Amino acid sequence: MKRKLQKFAGVVGVYIPAEIGKDLHLKHGELVDFSVMDGKIIITPLYTTPI
């Protein structure tokens, strides 16, 4: 799945498609961790409530 990077208030971001958010049980305001591995951006949910 491809997405364009967007500029939000001086930072670069990307929208997470609703179907991915639903599959991962992501909710607005939840924390995620960003890391880089082998030249790829890894976004890991930090669940505050059990799935």
Q: End-to-end alpha-carbon separation of the chain, Å?
A: 24
> Which residues, including other chains, have CB under 8 Å from residue 33's CB and lie 6 or more apart?
43, 44, 46
Instruction: State the pTM of this model.
Output: 0.68
pLDDT at position 44 is: 93
Q: Give the residue extent of every domain in the chain.
A: 6-46
Report the C-alpha gap between 49 and 30 in whole angstroms.
Answer: 9
pLDDT at position 49 is: 67
pLDDT at position 47 is: 78
pLDDT of the chain, 51 residues: tens digit per residue: 899 999 989 999 999 999 999 998 888 888 999 999 999 999 999 976 666
- At the topology level, CATH places domain 6-46 in Pemi-like Protein 1; Chain: D (2.10.260)
30 and 13 in contact (C-beta within 8 Å)? no
Q: Count H helices and E strands in the chain, helices first.
A: 1, 4
